């Protein structure tokens, strides 16, 4: 069962210079809610790639715009919603590149969506009126226990065991 723990938001101008702000924002949130380093790196790289595409392609023919980042932290996942009003593009419609061709030709760039698909567990795209909403989902690693979701009875039991350790009979 998935339940909401927290919801955060930031709005920045759609400019390359604001990418570090967005990277720091997602890194800080994912760290605070104890996502692993590999999960945080996957989220940070994916957010950077998605926002770069929004800035370079979505707002290419516009003088200004913004990116709204909503972050929902659930017990089993982190969901990033990137909302913009630029030209729409569904990354799920992009085909995977021929990696061998990239290597042979030394081509640079154009792998952002491919990377996002590899790093994330789900990518959803919807248009709502004039807004584009890109939802990036990263699941927590299975079997991880996070202190903020441990039932209070379990926490009290562990405290009792530390304060009054069981004596071993010989």
pLDDT in tens, 91-128: 767 767 667 767 777 766 677 788 888 999 999 999 98
List the single range of 50-59, 111-120, 131-140 with lowest mean pLDDT.
111-120
Q: What's the confidence (pLDDT) of residue 145? A: 45
Element housing 107 (H / E): none
What span, in angstroms and rounded, lies between the C-alpha atoms of 82 and 127?
A: 11
Where in the chain are the domains?
4-163
Q: What is the average per-residue pLDDT within 59-65?
A: 89
Greater model confidence, 111 or 22? 22
Which single residue is written with the structure tokens 């994912």?
A: 30
pLDDT band for position 16 (50/70/90)? Answer: very high
How would residue 154 be classed by pLDDT, with cut points 50, 70 and 90?
low
- Residue 37's pLDDT is what? 93
| Res. 157 pLDDT band, cuts 50 70 90 | low
Q: What does the mean pLDDT of the chain come to? A: 83
pLDDT of amino acid 97: 66
From the candidate CATH numbers 3.40.640.10, 3.30.565.10, 3.30.379.10, 3.40.190.10, the one assigned to the domain spanning 4-163: 3.30.565.10
Backbone angles phi, psi at 103, to 5 degrees: -65, -45
Chain CA centroid to CA 52, Å? 14
Place of tokens 């998935």: 2
Asked if 11 and 68 count as a contact pair (C-beta separation under 8 A), the reply is yes
CA distances from 83 to 18, 34, 128, 144, 169 (A): 15, 25, 10, 30, 62
């Amino acid at each position: 069962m998935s339940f909401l723990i927290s919801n955060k938001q930031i709005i920045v101008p759609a400019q390359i210079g604001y990418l570090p702000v967005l990277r720091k924002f997602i890194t800080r949130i994912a760290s605070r809610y104890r996502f692993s380093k590999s999960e945080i790196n996957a989220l940070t790289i994916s957010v950077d790639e998605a926002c770069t595409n929004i800035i370079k392609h979505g707002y290419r023919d516009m003088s200004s715009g913004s990116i709204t980042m909503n972050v929902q932290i659930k017990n089993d996942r982190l969901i990033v919603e990137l909302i913009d009003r630029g030209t729409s593009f569904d990354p799920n419609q992009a085909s995977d590149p021929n990696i061998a061709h990239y290597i042979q030709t030394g081509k640079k760039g154009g792998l952002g969506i491919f990377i996002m698909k590899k790093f994330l567990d789900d990518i959803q795209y919807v248009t709502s009126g004039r807004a584009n909403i890109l939802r990036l989902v990263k699941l927590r690693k299975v079997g991880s226990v996070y202190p903020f979701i441990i039932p209070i009875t379990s926490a009290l039991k562990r405290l009792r065991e530390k304060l009054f350790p069981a004596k071993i009979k010989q």
